[in-house]
Amino acid sequence: MSSIPANLQYTKDHEWTLTEGGVATVGITDHAQHELGDIVFVELPKVGATIKAGDSFGTIEAVKTVAELYAPLSGTVTEVNTALADDAGVINTDPYGKGWIIKVTVEGDTDALMDAEAYKKLV
């Protein structure tokens, strides 16, 4: 069973968010990283890029596949996890901590996101 922290919000595309003070930290879920396998590379957007909920903002590459990363909410990228350039595999070991992908200044609401219970039902 995958880890699904109760304090996060989730998307049907298996991204998670933690919003604090109008800034959302975004990553992929434990379930997603298990499905992908050994992650070797993450294509990150540039700081200052505008993302729109539901649109692709990058890709994540595992040994056997490449998958799109979908924005869980709209906003402006304020920070990217540059440590992933050296070791994208940290997502496999710590998807909710050191494996975060981007931080976004949130524009609009987060009502479309699922809570942990809804995400558990999805997976």
The model's pLDDT over 58-84, given as tens digits with 9 standing for 90+, comes to 999 999 899 999 999 999 999 999 999
Strand order across the 23-28 sheet: 9-10, 15-20, 23-28, 102-106, 75-80, 50-51
In the CATH scheme, what architecture does the domain 9-106 have?
Beta Barrel (2.40)
pLDDT tens-digit profile of 87-122?
999 999 999 999 999 999 999 878 889 999 999 999
In whole angstroms, what is the distance from residue 14 CA to residue 70 CA?
A: 9
